[in-house]
Amino acid sequence: MTNKIEHHPDDSTLMSYAAGSLSEPLCAVVAAHLELCKACVHEVHAMERIGAALFEDLQGSPINSGTQEACCKAIGQPESNAKIPDEPQDHSVLTRILGSKLADIHWKRLGFGIWHHPIKLSPNCNGDLRLIKVAPGQVMPEHGHGGSELTLILSGSYSDEFGKYNAGDLSDLGDDVEHRPVSDSLEGCVCLIASERKARFKDIVSRIVQPLTGL
Amino acid sequence: MAHLLQRVAQSRDAQAFAELFENFAPRIKAYMIRQGADPTTAEELAQETLLMVWRKAGLYSDTKGSATTWIFTIARNLRIDRLRREVPWQTFPEGQEEQASDDIAPDEAVSERERRERVHAVLATLPEDQHEVVLLSYIEGLSHSEIADRLDLPLGTVKSRMRLAYQKLRESVEDLR
Ligand SMILES: [Zn+2]
């Protein structure tokens, strides 16, 4: 990544991530941004200290006497002495989210100049996570109202009222903001888009598809 | 607490582990209950968190890092995985990828104890409406939308209260750069 990242998640979004209360699709997008952005990693670590302080303030719940004994016995067992190997870091967050490399994605056509690839979430999880690919110079799916949405630019770029978004940039606009992003005239744009709610994304998709099918 | 964790990491010290257990297990259990677990599950998760601390202690290497923060993040990730049954994309703090605090001379770095006192002091002075959303987010595990529903507030208000709280807390939790 040679260009500098200029658009970051809102502080409130990063806090929710650090607290572990951001829903899975939004969390995945923030994690993919963090892999590219040291400044936000730094911020998240600071925010985790807030959680630790609140955690420290909790009044402890008594533990049954047998539990500690069992736990201390368990660490004496050979299998728990085996150190867990470091988590597999050979794959990027994005590759783990997609379950494959970005280059190997099988795109489905949504309409003229727009393709998507829905990403499977945990079964009980609400929300929506998908890749969107937009041809050069195309108006992007418009973000609607209500609920949180995050967009991470993976390649290419787009521009809207708030500036230019390049690879690594994350758009975290409030739910009351309207904008009309237009993809880069030469490269187009590939984004990872998360929405907190399921139905809402369908609204967006139908909004792009509709004009193209002649309403 | 950091020295106990280091003894566990370096010499697999069972006595140090027992002390960590006594210190953290009751609070992890309380945390899991606040996050919606029943007491039996909460106790199992507390036990599981501590076993993970034992196994992963080797990954805790930073002498300046707070043991409490490290253990909090393990409990947090376990809670996402078990109680919410979602993928915890959150990573551990002070991982090998961040070396930001390495160039600070030890006497310049704020000691963990000082920092902790400062965070608690600022938390105590937060306006009630800001303190409330921060607590709901970190301890009750609610998303911003869930907080908005619970308090009958617009989503934007919840987010701006979180932001305002962070502006006040930031200085006390950030590393010196
Ligand atoms: Zn960032």
Pairwise CA distance, residues B76 & B65, whole Å: 17
Q: Is residue B100 part of a domain?
A: no
Q: Do A86 and B14 touch (CB under 8 A)?
A: no
Residues A67 and A161 grouped into a single domain = no
- List CB contacts (< 8 A) between B91 and chain A: 31, 34
Chain center to CA of A8: 12
Question: Which residue from A85, A25, A129, A148 is spatially nearest to B59, judged by alpha carbons?
Answer: A85
- A171 and A203 within one domain: yes
CA A126 to CA A206: how far, in whole Å?
19
A131 and A26 in a common domain: no
Answer with the one of A68, A97, A126 that is the final residue of a domain: A97
Answer yes or no: do A141 and A117 share one domain: yes
Cα four-point dihedral sign A200, A25, B167, A38:
negative
Cβ atoms of residues B139 and B75 within 8 Å? no
Q: How many domains does chain B have?
A: 2
B59 secondary structure, DSSP code? G
Rg (CA), chain A: 21
Which ipTM was obtained for this model? 0.91
Provide the residues around ligand 1 (an ion) whose CB is within 5 A. Answer: A 8, 37, 40
Run of H or E including A116: strand A114-118
- In DSSP terms, A133 is beta-bridged to A115, A190
Contact B51 A80 (CB under 8 A): yes
> B33 contacts in A (CB within 8 Å)?
61
Give me the pLDDT at residue A14, please: 97
Domain end, chosen from B95, B119, B149, is at B95
Q: Is position B26 within any domain?
A: yes
Q: How many cross-chain Cβ pairs, A to B, lie less than 8 Å apart?
A: 212
In angstroms, the CA A54 to CA B25 distance is 15
Give the per-residue pLDDT at B172.
86
Residues B110 and B86 in one domain: no
- Domain identity same for B4 and B70: yes
Res B149: pLDDT? 95
The pLDDT tens digits of the residues spanning A26-75 come to 999 999 999 999 999 999 999 999 999 999 999 999 999 899 888 888 88
CB A29 within 8 A of CB A194: yes
Residue with tokens 């009044």: A59
Tell me the CATH number at B166.
1.10.10.10
Instruction: Say how many Å lie between the CA of residue A132 and the centre of ligand 1.
Output: 21
Structural domain including B132 reads 105-177
B39, A61: Cβ pair inside 8 Å?
yes
Q: CB of A192 within 8 Å of any CB in chain B?
A: no
The pTM (predicted TM-score) of the whole model is 0.90
Whether residue A158 is contained in a domain is answered as yes
Does residue B109 share a domain with residue B80?
A: no
Pick the last residue of a domain from A97, A121, A150: A97
Same domain, B20 and B87: yes
In a domain, residue A69? The reply is: yes
Residue at B160 is within a domain: yes
Last residue of a domain, one of B31, B64, B95: B95
At a CB cut-off of 8 Å and minimum separation 6, what does A130 contact? Answer: A116, A117, A118, A119, A192, A193, A201
Q: How far is CA A13 from the centre of its chain?
A: 11
**Structural domains in chain A (count):** 2
Q: Flag if A75 and B26 touch (Cβ within 8 Å).
A: no
Report the range of poorest mean pLDDT among A60-64, A175-179, B26-30: A175-179
Provide the sign of the torsion angle of the four alpha carbons A40, A42, A43, A45, taken in this order: positive
What is the domain extent for residue A180?
99-213
Q: Give the mean pLDDT of chain B.
A: 87
Residues B68 and B1 in one domain: yes
Q: How far are the Cα atoms of A11, A51, A52, B72, B117 from residue B123, in angstroms, in the given order?
A: 17, 11, 12, 17, 10
> For residue A155, is it within any domain?
yes
C-alpha B43, offset from chain centre: 18
Residue B4 is part of a domain; what is its CATH number?
A: 1.10.1740.10
* Residue B12 counted as domain residue: yes
